[in-house]
A and B are shown apart, each in its own frame.
Chain A
Amino acid sequence: MPITKSFQDEALQAALLELIRQTSTQLPHDVIKAITMAKKAEKEGSTASQVLDAILRNIERAREKVTPICQDTGTNIYYVSLPIGMSMRRVEKAIREATREATRKAYLRPNAVDPLTGKNSGDNTGIMAPFITFVEWEKPAIEVRLMLKGGGCENVSIQYSLPDTSLKAGRDLDGVYKTVLDAVVKAQGRGCAPGILGIGIGGDRSSGMLLAKQQLFRKVDDENENPLLATLESRLLKDINSLGIGPMGFGGKTTALAVKIGVAHRLPASYFVSISYMCWADRRKTMHYTPEMVTYD
């Protein structure tokens, strides 16, 4: 039987609530591994090493107590893949309901404020909140990827339009390299370093940023399929970590845990580099849903 028939709104909603709970209270293994490795790289007893140690203890305690890893549970960003024929509106409704419930259960802090009235909706729903992107795919299952993107790191995210004369950055990979270093120096520790950088080359101002954020769904230790971008990623990571900004900007060897780059076709007239900074509290999770089985990764 196709999923569109056997699919139940309540069951999906419950599965989504669990997705939110796990995302907010458990950091992905690859991120924990990267922070653990970063701690080992810092000198024992140094401020940097103590900060990373406290971060690791906080991650552990949040998991044990089932409380949010960071109290800023961020913008809720969803990427949803739907089987052919599945209603987007039904899934969106389930997401909004699960979001309200998750806020009541304190997995999420009320984080949706109307910019005109200053009023907080109180339940994380509102205009474009949560932010959902739908695509259709071949499989008879629903895949929901969720990212909680904090405000501190979103505030240091940035977009460059090349060429940039002040940086002598042209419309090529060298130009991209320069803007990324510049962005990291501008951010200092304010995005709760060590961070993960999602970078979009090309697109327009909005698709470029979306692309940058999509990169943040990649595992910290994966390798870019494009060898050119893989080289740029590893070179950038190495050079960023030679800047000495360190955890929280107190100084140290670990300023970034990973750099992830994607590309999109651009207009001949534009060359954007969009940089999305994700804090160490890199909360993301993927749910694979069929009426028979739900898995989380």
Chain B
Amino acid sequence: MKNKKSGYYVHAVFIFLTAVFGISSFFIFSDIIGRSLQSVIKLKTDPSFTGGRIAAVFYDPVGDDHGYGGLSYPVSKNFPAGALDLVRYTVHEPVYNAQWSKLSDYWQIDLEFTGSLRYGRNIRIYIDADGNSQGALQTKTEFAEGVEFDASFPWDYVLSIQNNEGTLQSADGLLIVQLNVVQTDHYKKLAVRIPLENHLLQTLYSIDVTRHYVCVGGWSPAGRDGFLDVSESAFTPKLFDILVPDGKTQEQVLSAWNEDTFEVPVLYPVAVIMKASLEKSQLNSAEESDELQKKLELAAAKKSGEILKNSTEAYEAAVRESPQDMEKIAVAAFNAEKYDEAEKLFDQLLMKNPDSANASAYKGSLIALRSSKASPLRAVDMVAESYRYLDRSISLADDPAELITAFLNRGNVSKAVPDIVFGKALQGAGDFLAAGNEFKKLAASGTDDRKNYLNSAASAYCNAAICFEIAGKKEEAGTWFREADRMTADLDFEETSEVRLMVLRYFKKVDR
């Protein structure tokens, strides 16, 4: 009887605790619980909704939208920066009997750019689908793009995409099919669906390898085949960005024209194995990557220890040598993780000058840092208060250094707070990208600190990628991890260990 009674109370108390604390806590931590759950069960949506299983993904460098190397961006305001800068080219496996879609049988190709553009892109994708010598070596309209194609792989089909419309045409011109082009992600991404109902195209279901020449130009109604004239030599290819196979560079390929001999550049295709599984990392084996990870973890720990030591010394030096420069001391205190001291100083700075962008940025971060130790109720209010400072710092910043500080502070807070409660991960990604771009500009300005700036830009891109991952946008995450990887490839191993570690962790996750 006694046992029964205590059993009742144990059960009842458990239900009491679940009701009063358990349910709310479950929701507060559902972000973390969800992520942990997903890392175990690895749910995926049916690929036929999103374009089919991915056969191949090609990553093109960010910021190479200068054609042969010297092409300047269209001056018109219709072409915002990065609008013609192809960064990712994804080829899916052909899909059969898809649900929910207008097209049940289709083949999808995605192009992603760094900048948004609704009207103004003129894209040609020339595809060699049979691997034999039949097909064409000239562009669809002669002298339009100003290039020719590798004689080993003449194209069989060309996809002509202008803005949000497109057609597929066979090399003999006999087959013309309307494409379904959808612009998504604020016009940064084009999803091109090729209907496969036509029996002539159904051979694509059984093809093993296709080869793609991807050409991105500006669109103009007056241009030849719609290609915006670049107003340079008649031989300059009118292409701002192309995809090139490994071992070649875009600049090499597109600059190979000769006005005297009437030669035009020859493009080389990227090969797509049509039934490949999802993106592969560059890592060779699990053991190698584990070993590399250990090395990087050691190097990164050493580096962060050094940074903290240097910051502490810098703080002491600032207190000693420039006691009047309150901002310098405050920033040094923040970097040295003396947060209480830093906050006091930033408060004083804000009292003196409420419009200080830097003080607002750090103050925002400090409030957010404190919120991690507060009760959940108080924490929400504190995070909201921290964003008031962080948002203000961005509106107040008026030089690159202030902008970087503001973006990095807000980005770090957005990365740290639970997305399910605050929904800031995407904003965080945007902030890190903006900071990364500012670092890149500084790196390009010819200073001695070029390598440091590049490393900082890569680090910002990695953090942007992490924010994209948190927001569930894993493709975008892949783009920016790869870009960070590319940028740090030639830099010092130890110096870039933190970035390399983030990239490696991503590659390992994708590989699994």
B is a partner of A: no
User: Chain A interface (Cβ within 8 Å of chain B)?
Assistant: none
